[in-house]
Amino acid sequence: MAVRNNTEREEELVGAGARLDVEKFLEKCRMNGFQVAHVQSVEALVSVLADWASGWGVRKIVLGGLSKQLAERIRGEFTGREYMVLEIGGVEMEIEELRTGSLGVFRANAGIKETGGLVIFDNWASNLASLIPEYSVALLEMGEILQDYWMLAHLIRQTRPGGIAIISGPSSTSDIELTHVVGVHGPVGCGCIVAGLELDE
Amino acid sequence: MRGSSSMSRSRVLGALEKKWEVETRWRSMLAMHLKSREGMARLQQKYLEGVFESRKKSVENLERLVALTIESVKREGGNVYVAKTAEDARRYVASLAESRGVKCVIKSKSMTTEEIGLNDALLSQGVDVIETDLGERIVQLAGQRPSHIIAPAVHLSREEIARLVKERRGADLPPQPEAITRFFRQDLWADFKRAEMGVTGANIVVAETGQAVLVTNEGNGRLVATMPRIIVSIAGVEKIVETWDDAFNVLRVLPVSAVGRDATSYITVIGPRGMSRHVKVPEYHLVLLDNGRTGASNDPWLKDALRCIRCAACLDVCPTYRILGGHVFGDIYSGPMGVPWTAITKGLKDASEIAKYCVSCSLCLHVCPVRIDIPITISWIKHASGGKTLRERILTMYESYAVLGSRLPRLFNWLQGSRVSRRLMEGLLGIDRRRLMHRFRGGNLYEILGEKYLRRRSADVVYFPDTYAAYMDWSIGLLAVRVLEALGYTVAVPRTYGSGMPSIQYGFLSKARKVAEKNVEKLKSYAENGGRIVCSEPTAAYCLREAYPKILDTPSSRRVAESTWELTSLIAAESKTLSPSTRQPPNTYVFYHHPCHSRLLSPGRPSEDLLKRIGMNVATVDYGCCGIAGTWGMRRGAEGFLISAEIGRRVAEIILGTGCMEIATESSVCAQQLRQFSGLKVRHTIRYIAESLGIQSREEVVLNF
């Protein structure tokens, strides 16, 4: 992953005059249909995940694109809570396993404050965890929130990702009589947790 | 031509018979339009400037951007093919599928693949082709083509879709959108897993990195780009933008204009190094389709259409599209933008077949986020493709009819009221006998005002009356002049010609040019001396300000355009002395109807504000066009009146629902439509102003409006 150094990123953004306004970002995400939380510790993060998983009725947690340390912390915290925790590894896994009754937890590379979007660069495991399961939750550090698309354009030019996904809500359609329905091909529900700590240490 | 027009008539009648479809489409398009307008009202101007500049740059640099894209895709390890024609593109993808032993192709929504007829080509060589966008899948199962570019199945009811699923997929579902969606989630998942090739369209191609950008809500685009081992993106060359900044200029505006949201659920960026589920980097092909686009980029009338970002705002607002839908008003590309796009990709003859459904209301230009002048482009397509009817030619002589009527008012009023003569008029002139016609007052404005106004060489304001206020009922013109004088302006009224709108509307551009030249010649000296040209008829202001500079393209026409105002806009902007009047009867509840051309010309709601300022209780609803569109709504049966009546009835229902007592508007033809279908009294806004100034009494009998 090219963009992970939070301190460097924060310096760059602050240097560019950006206001890291987490609450406004989360408000925009909420308007887009995300569940949102702002946490200060891994324990709190896991607690939010467990609450949401319970609310959505899922018992399978699928981790994708998280650092080894963070994945281990989450797995550890969930041990003994009657959840199955899987990790999308470096080899091809049976994709069907990810699909039903699961919550994908993935690492987003950036958030867009103006539109309430979450960005994934190049990470195929994050991509799968955000797309295939019935529910998905993005993990993001405070310093990774960008003001708008044009800051993202700057980041794209710097890092040259091969693939990008910008997620701004659950999978949805209004194709039948303009009735809004969620969960067409991607997740039925989604969440975003912004952490006030370095997630990858 | 006779064959073509009778086919067109039967298509219109067929569409009108589908009552549920017409009603649903009307309500759906209105809802989408309102969402779009709400979003666009929030959008900062800088984003609109940004998207316009980025799209303009793309169109002006097509060939350079194609070369840059090729270089970028190759640098990243992908394959790129530039297809000159639809046939070339089809052959490339079909032979790729054949050479790789592909048995199943999954597709995300793509109008470009519709344009090249890809599905049929693949099916003919035994490949399963599965559309994965829900709406596209539904129309695929129905054996139809999309009727709307972003809501492909909007013409089908939930019951029809449930029935279709039972017939084609064997599942017995309740007719509920949730149940149907759940079924397709499962059903298509099996196809996502088995397909060897994924085909996507592209909303944007970014030249600097060679990547394709998809804007979706369902997630099927992401799955198509993630699951198969071969990925093909097909995009028209005009979709290329130079940089990521340009791409985000489009991405910031597209979802707002389309559905009123700041962002769709997913933006997916794919390229040679995408985010496939396969550990090995998949095989990636980008097909860039020309098919007439480069030629169009050098055509002064068609090049602007290449800026289109496919938001569909023009479809949602179009009065005839709302009634007829994309299967009648459309080819591959439907609705207003479908006309120039059919001209670009299939030629003028095909385009002229659907151009006839454009009524020149200009709302498509009003809502277009990249300012494509679709109505004038369609007028040119009608002009260039020939094949206009005798009746259309007769309708361009509307002003001569009005001049005669002003000289023989009793005869003309009798003729317009007699059943026998209305039948004759219908047969000979093509004017529907059911259409309520305005009565003639007799005499004309120039005679009433006298030489002083005709000969005045310099004035603050030059009044341009157009046909109705000059010849049919000069009382509007007289009131306009009296009100302007009461507000302190000196007024000149030189003898001018009618605006020529019928000629523009039906594509008689040579005739329109002649009229425009004469009017510009009459008005230019006033404009050069700082006089404002003021119109009480919004369509006249539209012609002077928007149409004449396009069809004449001269400094004088531009000077006249810059000086042109709508009457009520000028008063609203400059007169601070108007205040609530004691002369208005208490509790007069007025509905304000905003004419289409007025929306385009005057930002905000100046007339409505003005009515409120003088103490009126005003209601208004944004339903779009009232459906008469000049002489079009007077045309016989399926050529105009029947469609116009469908719109008029719905608009009247909305207006009557507000509980208002009468209607204020500025357009004489809108007044005709609103009177006919609402049964309410309709009055020109200037009458209320005149009453508040004590120039006209409310008890005065109004002839028409």
Residue ranges of A 96-115 with Cβ closer than 8 A to chain B: 96, 99, 112, 114-115
CA angle B505–B328–B15, rounded 5-degree value: 110
Domains contained in chain A, CATH given: 6-195 (3.40.50.10420)
Q: How would you classify the pairing of strands B197-200 and B230-236? A: parallel
Q: Which of A91, A115, A184 sits opposite B185 (nearest CB)?
A: A184
> What is the rounded distance in angstroms from the CA atom of residue B50 to the CA atom of residue B62?
18
Tell me the nearest-neighbour CA distance from B247 into chain A, angstroms: 9
Confidence band for A100, pLDDT divided at 50, 70 and 90? confident
> What is the rounded distance in angstroms from the CA atom of residue B261 to the CA atom of residue B264?
7
Name the residue of chain B whose CA is nearest to A89's CA: B279
Q: Residue B159: what pLDDT? A: 96
Tokens 């010309």 locate to B601
Tokens 């200009």 locate to B362
A164 and B269 in contact by Cβ < 8 A?
yes
Rounded mean pLDDT for each run of 10 residues along chain B, 705 residues in total: 68 95 95 97 96 98 98 95 98 97 97 97 97 98 94 95 97 97 97 96 97 97 94 98 98 98 96 74 92 97 98 98 95 96 97 94 97 97 89 90 96 95 93 96 96 93 97 96 95 97 96 97 96 97 97 97 97 81 71 96 90 92 95 94 97 97 96 97 95 83 87
Q: Which of B156, B181, B279 sits opposite A173 (nearest CB)?
A: B181
Average pLDDT rounded to a whole number, residues A89-115: 86
Q: Residue B701: what pLDDT? A: 78
SS3 B254: helix
B279 and A186 in contact by Cβ < 8 A?
no
Domains contained in chain B, CATH given: 1-42+314-386 (no CATH), 51-291 (3.40.50.10420), 395-572 (1.20.1050), 576-692 (3.40.50)
> What is the rounded distance in angstroms from the CA atom of residue B269 to the CA atom of residue A51?
32
Determine contact, residues B429/B401, Cβ cutoff 8 Å: no
ipTM given for this complex: 0.92
Which residues are registered as beta bridge partners of A194? Answer: A38, A140
CA angle B56–B57–B58, rounded 5-degree value: 90
Tell me the nearest-neighbour CA distance from A80 into chain B, angstroms: 31
Structure confidence by residue, pLDDT tens digits, A10-33: 455 544 444 458 999 999 999 999
SS3 B156: coil
CA angle A143–A147–A150, rounded 5-degree value: 120
> Which one-letter DSSP state was computed for residue A17?
T
Q: Could you please report the per-residue DSSP string of A86-153? A: EE--SS---THHHHSSEEEEEE-SEEETTTTEEEEES-HHHHHHHHSSSEEEEEEEGGGEESSHHHHH
> What is the rounded distance in angstroms from the CA atom of residue B364 to the CA atom of residue B352?
18
Q: Which of A90, A153, A176 sits opposite B245 (nearest CB)?
A: A153
Q: Does A2 touch chain B (CB under 8 A)?
A: no
> What is the rounded distance in angstroms from the CA atom of residue A72 to the CA atom of residue B253?
41
Tell me the nearest-neighbour CA distance from A194 into chain B, angstroms: 19
Which residues are registered as beta bridge partners of B214? Answer: B268
B226 and A164 in contact by Cβ < 8 A?
no
Q: Residue A17: what pLDDT? A: 45
Q: Could you please report the per-residue DSSP string of B309-365? A: ----HHHHH-HHHHHH-TTTSBSSSBHHHHHHHHHHHH-HHHHHHHHTT-----HHH
Under 8 Å CB pairs connecting chains A and B tally to: 174
Q: Does A64 touch chain B (CB under 8 A)?
A: no
Evaluated on CA atoms B235, B238, B240, B241, the torsion sign reads: negative
Tokens 């790789």 locate to B100
> What is the rounded distance in angstroms from the CA atom of residue B200 to the CA atom of residue B220?
10
Determine contact, residues B667/B539, Cβ cutoff 8 Å: yes
Q: Which of B153, B218, B277 sits opposite A184 (nearest CB)?
A: B218
Cβ contacts (< 8 Å) between A89 and chain B: which residues? Answer: none
Determine contact, residues B600/B542, Cβ cutoff 8 Å: yes
Q: Which amino acid is at B103?
A: K
CA dist list (Å): B401 to B37, B150, B460: 39, 43, 32
Picking from A41, A23, A13, A20, the residue whose alpha carbon sits closest to that of residue A195 is A41
Query: Helices (H) and strands (E) in chain B — how many of each?
Result: 38, 18
Q: Residue A20: what pLDDT? A: 58
CA angle B404–B410–B411, rounded 5-degree value: 60
Picking from B461, B481, B437, B492, the residue whose alpha carbon sits closest to that of residue B668 is B437
Residue B660, token pair as written in the block: 């208002």
Long-range Cβ contacts of B519-523 (<8 Å, 24+ apart)? B519/B464, B519/B544, B519/B548, B519/B560, B520/B548, B520/B552, B520/B554, B520/B556, B520/B557, B520/B560, B521/B556, B522/B494, B522/B495, B522/B496, B523/B462, B523/B464, B523/B494, B523/B496, B523/B560, B523/B563
Residue ranges of A 67-96 with Cβ closer than 8 A to chain B: 90-92, 95-96
Buried b / exposed e along B80-97 (16+ C-beta atoms within 10 A)? bbbbeebebbbebbbebb
Q: How would you classify the pairing of strands B204-206 and B211-216? A: antiparallel
Residue B687, token pair as written in the block: 């009458």
Phi, psi of B227 (to 5 degrees): -85, -50
A153 and B135 in contact by Cβ < 8 A?
no
Tokens 């602050």 locate to A14
SS3 B647: helix
Phi, psi of B206 (to 5 degrees): -100, 115
Residue B527, token pair as written in the block: 């404009």
Q: Does A163 touch chain B (CB under 8 A)?
A: yes
Q: Which amino acid is at B669?
A: V
Confidence band for A81, pLDDT divided at 50, 70 and 90? confident
Determine contact, residues B350/B384, Cβ cutoff 8 Å: no
B265 and A170 in contact by Cβ < 8 A?
yes
Interface residue of B44, B220, B265 to substitute, partner A, most A CBs within 10 Å: B265
Which residues are registered as beta bridge partners of A195? Answer: A39, A141
Cβ–Cβ contacts within 10 Å for residue B587, how many?
Answer: 7
Residue ranges of A 124-153 with Cβ closer than 8 A to chain B: 124, 127-128, 131, 149-150, 152-153
> What is the rounded distance in angstroms from the CA atom of residue B619 to the CA atom of residue B591?
5
Q: Does A177 touch chain B (CB under 8 A)?
A: yes
Tokens 């004469």 locate to B518
Who's near B25: CB < 8 A, 6+ residues apart?
B154, B155, B322, B323, B325
